Structure 1
């Protein structure tokens, strides 16, 4: 770029407000304030070099220059939201990329040539900048001093983080990290700077996520060990001997600070400390460890003094408090947790071993039809939410708008005003800032307020009758679905006129409902509304498309297959639609959740390791059962219910990873068969474990009369549903591989320890912690940026990278193609067809495969599953077919109708001077959004 920009032709450089928050690291490690006008000068100069001096007078060019400046500022603010320093060459990289994205290829070329020319001058010595040795600011005794950077420590830190990881470049990390350090950098800012450097490489090599996690461990070790007066700094290798000292120091400090249960000091801490396996710290990915650091580790003020293996042992000890051989059981529990074979739910991880051990995940309540009961239910919501519980409220008993109120001789305002209060309570009580309070309101489809209920989440209309922060769900009886199929009428009632419908199911519900319809014809009931069932169904689907709510769940499938139908009625599901337990005025249903990591139970050849799975499941069920007796109950109705029925919810996660490891496509008969096979094994082992616990500890109180007591297992209960619904309305597979007769005999002799044993939760957070795909979810995208309370993280599918490496086609061009096509491989010619099928993403799958797989799992479950449905380019017909299929195939519940999220992979490059090489043909189309919500529910797990 030979044309020089003179003072009379360049825009003036002025001090910018961003200069107070951001600085630029020069090539000699010195810093200067960040001035966007300097970018404007350089880009204008590039245009002049291409189009001549007259170019700067063009409005188009001025607009393009401003777009480049704005784009660079946006990238810097996204990467460093709190301010910080950015290297001059990173800024130049972003200028180059912005010019290319704007189609200014000639100008970008001039800019590239300019950079190359000056790089050559620097290399030849004709443009030398004096280099200043890097000084680091350290704090000692309240004062600060500057010392030279300890390069030996710096290089050792990076090499330890990269040890035994293929595909990573420690020298490259060192070189790039040094560029991002500046004179006088604080000692505590060095490791975060190296982490930022390694993070930028994750998109090219997933192993860099592990590098970032190991670097974060260095920071965590320094923080915790200093606080515990053990050491100022320790390597990963040092922890093999130090962990035995850390555990007792942590326990005693936590008790001293009144953070931990004093009973933890009664354990043999020496024995438990020796059981800690320091090398398991190295299996974390960055997102997982950062999540633990930000939200789970015990802290004093802002200091985290709990290390990963101590964290797992603290949970294990908290769950073993009542065991006869506490140390042996704690070590057993620690093993499955620390090896990532099984993970407890978030409330258990938060609170096990603490002074207030609220360990349960989900609470289900039913709201009575009187003012005192309504506000008591809202108070219960607040107390349960305070201690990290997700809530499901049944509102079907509360009288509808216009119903008579005998006490005041007035008319009811219906459920909507009360739901506004519920909504605001969930916002106000946010679980101590650890995560958002969350509640779901359920309403039966015959309720006269159902049409207003449909619109609660709309962004238009009277905001006094909207609830934007809570979740909603339909509780749909089979009779309604039958009338949809038959295109018949449907009648809406106030529950004050038809109170018994709330507790009736199947044919009993149908008989009574039809009797009430006849009463409207005779004039005995005057408050009702007749609608077309099909039109109401279409409105339900339309609103689900528009707002993501209300979810659709099926009352009769939940009740007619419930093992506990002799002891009550299931009136709703929970926040995440996987729990199906009875509720009443005296009982708030409670469920305790945990999930098996399925991919950990496959052999290297992709076969299910049934012996390992049985061992893990038995330990997991014991841990879940222990929760019931140790748990802190915020309200007495929850204690009553949990102690009487002892339900637990064992689920799974990593299903998609397991498919990858087995070489199976989600959208295939083999994938459906895999779902069936794995769930049958988990179900068998879970029921066996609960029965054996009953032999050891006694069966749960309400066991007599249950389906278990009658010899009816979940697979057998499908017959109950078929008998009530009619064979033409149930198309659920009932085949089995295992011999279930011996287990039936065992249960008949021993009973069951738990009324309910299995439920598949979303596992959004705990799957992040251990680095696997959430729950039963298909892959969202093969490359994207995930945002949560811990920040933004580049997520790339490591199984895809591994497969493409095996094909010899994993390179920078492939990375950029994945960015360009929004994480899809379908339009990339170099990807073999077999891999395109195997690595199809969620919106590239037909929803029928999601429903088929869920149906196969549902036959083995005594509760339900959180099933998100992905429908690309959704329209009314697709939604109608999908949700009718869900009902016909025997699903109990559905969860979010998923939309493609707004976040995408940042189209940048780490290597200097390189631009994205993208394949022609344009990016994959982005489906229309079906939901305005982020469906990563963290309230259950």
Structure 2
């Protein structure tokens, strides 16, 4: 039995170990391995002990690591044996369907799964509802309802629900959908536009594009204008990604069961009602610096892992009978890998090299070949999946499983496995800083890097420089071949991320979860180029992450802490924040009520912007809007709130303000709207200063949003389209 690392043990105890009624751990890692092995072996009609031992070996030695729902559910007496990680549900254009599906989603979350939807059947906002003669709320409002509900249900009692929302590119509400996350919110959703070959052709030829619902054209606009909206939104907030719908369908093993959606991270296309269970081959355990990849162990592990996953489909207790039926009709499994980066490093190959991509493709091909052979053998022994005669394999290729290979995000299981590379991703960085509640900021050095350079006699001073920078690129004393092998995710060009995804996708039945990292100064055009290149390379979908477009909390090296306002040069203006906390105050003036909204950054209390609107009883709308815009511009231009309020306080008295006060009307402190706004700004700033930053004893509670929910210690970082904890491996997508 393999000994878990300290971090791996934390993952196991926090998320997977059995617990008594009081929440105390009552199961060791070895006992949990036996629990899973026995549950899977119970599906066998003979040789149960033999298969139990084989399953125990590959899991206990961390050669194969099942996914979170399997660890958390299967074999336990206090919960259903629900092994599925990926689900797709259908939602139709009726109130009954919307709320029935909402309930189904909650049940899936409760059992530990993530859900994907295609919302294209929902009529657009403003359409007539025949039964009530009212107006439809539309797609985006339905998504907001589902998002709010997901906050209430944790996946398997561990994390909040994760959802993929897809809308086809020709839906009349597509623009609102694209921009739905621009101002924050929808934190449980990943959004992707369902792009067709026809749209890509219209984009290439600069043709008009029609938005259609139920066969009726609702609007026409240039395809390039719609494309611009997509890439500008992705540039602003990281969403939407793109899913290439025709590619999903062309790779569908049962074509009559149409596929138009995926699970939350995009790697598992499924028909409505289907689910898929996941597991990862640990490439790090099969690779050494001396001997490279052990193909014999790889093949043996894959063969046993396919049987393990297939058996769990039979013993599973799915959240809904319809899901059980649809899942068992195709018996899809998602066998993938983790630790690709570890294997490449041990082979002395750079992630962004042709040799690195070739080895990645070769490894994936070997896994696929062994998995398909195992599925064919299982079909001979136990029978083909029920819809085999409707599949692309009929009649010449018997199969137990309609699909076998999926490259999924592997947050928790990577930590369990003791790898540095998550799934198909490169290492995050050579050195990075991890924020914890217990021990403060911890500086982490890549163990692989330290192992690799042990014979290079690199002095401590050079390692200190690497720790400061978080990178070994361009460091004097670091050989070029070492620097090339140890590039972090942010140091790899977008095209090389895409080429790696393409090299692996060629050997994958389903799809690949991959993040294309872009620097903060990348343009919308750069994102558009990534999306177009992904299409040209034959990918099924792609997600980009531009540094700074979403909140991140793990820093490379010893960079400035998140939330600190950078120094601005003259004329520079900070961009409007993606999201912020806010408060609204009513001010009573001589002309009526005005409402002052002040948005601030929660982790440091810095005021970011203001919005000022008038009430129904009067006030100068033009003046208040102009004042609001100029105050916000000044703040984002680096002018202090104190300087701004000093100028506002210095304005002349307003006759209307003075008259109202003379008549005994209640008005807010000040001599004009400007000074009333200034006084309220000063009051709010004082409260924020006292509450959060500036020596505030409660700062930790203010920053709690950026601490991992599972272990309560480490900060989260962006990886594979999710927020991942480097301490315990928990992921939030």
TM-score range, shorter chain: 0.7 to 0.9
Which of 92, 108, 113 aligns to 1:384? It is 108
The answer (yes or no) to whether the contact 2:405–2:509 under 8 Å persists in 1 is yes
| Secondary structure in structure 2 of the residue aligned to 1:652 | strand
| Cα gap change, 1:577 to 1:406, in 2 (>3 Å) | same
- Once residues 458 and 543 of structure 2 are traced to their aligned partners in structure 1, the CA distance between those partners, rounded to angstroms, is 38
1:469 corresponds to = 188
The answer (yes or no) to whether the contact 1:360–1:389 under 8 Å persists in 2 is yes
2:15 corresponds to = 295
2:75 corresponds to = 353
The answer (yes or no) to whether the contact 1:801–1:810 under 8 Å persists in 2 is no
Q: CA deviation at 1:875?
A: 1.1
Alignment of 1:436-451 (within 5 A): 436-451=160-175
Which of 549, 553, 562 aligns to 2:252? It is 562
| Secondary structure in structure 1 of the residue aligned to 2:221 | strand
- Once residues 894 and 881 of structure 1 are traced to their aligned partners in structure 2, the CA distance between those partners, rounded to angstroms, is 12
Q: CA deviation at 1:403?
A: 2.4
- Once residues 542 and 681 of structure 1 are traced to their aligned partners in structure 2, the CA distance between those partners, rounded to angstroms, is 39
1:759 corresponds to = 406
1:851 corresponds to = 498
Deviation per CA, 1:251-307: give whole Å up to 9, x if none.
xxxxxxxxxxxxxxxxxxxxxxxxxx4xx22xx222211111222111122421211
Q: Which runs of 5+ in 1 are unaligned?
A: 1-276, 461-465, 499-524, 711-747, 909-927
1:892 corresponds to = 540
| Cα gap change, 1:667 to 1:604, in 2 (>3 Å) | closer
The answer (yes or no) to whether the contact 2:110–2:157 under 8 Å persists in 1 is no
| Cα gap change, 1:788 to 1:438, in 2 (>3 Å) | farther
| Cα gap change, 1:929 to 1:895, in 2 (>3 Å) | farther
The answer (yes or no) to whether the contact 1:762–1:940 under 8 Å persists in 2 is no
| Cα gap change, 1:358 to 1:672, in 2 (>3 Å) | same
- Once residues 303 and 874 of structure 1 are traced to their aligned partners in structure 2, the CA distance between those partners, rounded to angstroms, is 48
The structure carrying a bigger strand percent of its residues is: 2
Deviation per CA, 1:565-611: give whole Å up to 9, x if none.
1x31101111110111222xxxx110010011122223553433222
Q: CA deviation at 1:850?
A: 1.5
Q: CA deviation at 1:936?
A: 3.2
| Cα gap change, 1:440 to 1:315, in 2 (>3 Å) | same
Q: Does 1:694 align with 2:379?
A: yes
The answer (yes or no) to whether the contact 1:437–1:939 under 8 Å persists in 2 is no
Which of 267, 289, 292 aligns to 1:578? It is 267
- Once residues 623 and 897 of structure 1 are traced to their aligned partners in structure 2, the CA distance between those partners, rounded to angstroms, is 35
1:681 corresponds to = 366
Alignment of 1:651-666 (within 5 A): 651-666=336-351
Q: Which runs of 5+ in 2 are unaligned?
A: 560-574, 580-716, 725-729
The answer (yes or no) to whether the contact 2:43–2:312 under 8 Å persists in 1 is no
After TM superposition, which residue ranges in structure 1, 4 or more long, deviate above 4 angstroms? Answer: 786-794, 905-908, 928-933, 937-941
- Once residues 790 and 680 of structure 1 are traced to their aligned partners in structure 2, the CA distance between those partners, rounded to angstroms, is 44
Q: CA deviation at 1:390?
A: 0.7
- Once residues 475 and 364 of structure 1 are traced to their aligned partners in structure 2, the CA distance between those partners, rounded to angstroms, is 15
1:397 corresponds to = 121
The answer (yes or no) to whether the contact 1:438–1:939 under 8 Å persists in 2 is no
Q: CA RMSD in A?
A: 2.4
| Cα gap change, 1:790 to 1:435, in 2 (>3 Å) | farther
| Cα gap change, 1:312 to 1:810, in 2 (>3 Å) | farther
Q: CA deviation at 1:757?
A: 0.8
2:63 corresponds to = 341
Deviation per CA, 1:474-532: give whole Å up to 9, x if none.
111111112112222111122xx23xxxxxxxxxxxxxxxxxxxxxxxxxx4x511122
- Once residues 138 and 347 of structure 2 are traced to their aligned partners in structure 1, the CA distance between those partners, rounded to angstroms, is 53
| Secondary structure in structure 2 of the residue aligned to 1:623 | helix
Q: Does 1:419 align with 2:174?
A: no
Deviation per CA, 1:627-662: give whole Å up to 9, x if none.
111111111220110111111111111000000000
Q: CA deviation at 1:471?
A: 2.1
- Once residues 485 and 444 of structure 2 are traced to their aligned partners in structure 1, the CA distance between those partners, rounded to angstroms, is 18
1:327 corresponds to = 49
2:524 corresponds to = 876
| Cα gap change, 1:680 to 1:907, in 2 (>3 Å) | closer
2:512 corresponds to = 865
The structure carrying a bigger helix percent of its residues is: 1
The answer (yes or no) to whether the contact 2:352–2:500 under 8 Å persists in 1 is no
- Once residues 489 and 373 of structure 1 are traced to their aligned partners in structure 2, the CA distance between those partners, rounded to angstroms, is 34
The answer (yes or no) to whether the contact 2:280–2:337 under 8 Å persists in 1 is yes
Q: Comparing both chains, which one has the higher relative contact order based on Cα–Cα distances under 8 Å and sequence gaps of 6 or more?
A: 2
2:235 corresponds to = 545
| Secondary structure in structure 1 of the residue aligned to 2:191 | strand
Which deviates more from structure 2 when the two are superposed, residues 619-628 or residues 779-788?
Answer: 779-788
Q: CA deviation at 1:433?
A: 3.8
- Once residues 289 and 422 of structure 2 are traced to their aligned partners in structure 1, the CA distance between those partners, rounded to angstroms, is 21
Alignment of 1:98-247 (within 5 A): none
| Cα gap change, 1:896 to 1:771, in 2 (>3 Å) | farther
Which deviates more from structure 2 when the two are superposed, residues 699-708 or residues 302-311?
Answer: 302-311
2:30 corresponds to = 309
- Once residues 796 and 573 of structure 1 are traced to their aligned partners in structure 2, the CA distance between those partners, rounded to angstroms, is 36
The answer (yes or no) to whether the contact 1:543–1:550 under 8 Å persists in 2 is yes
1:802 corresponds to = 451
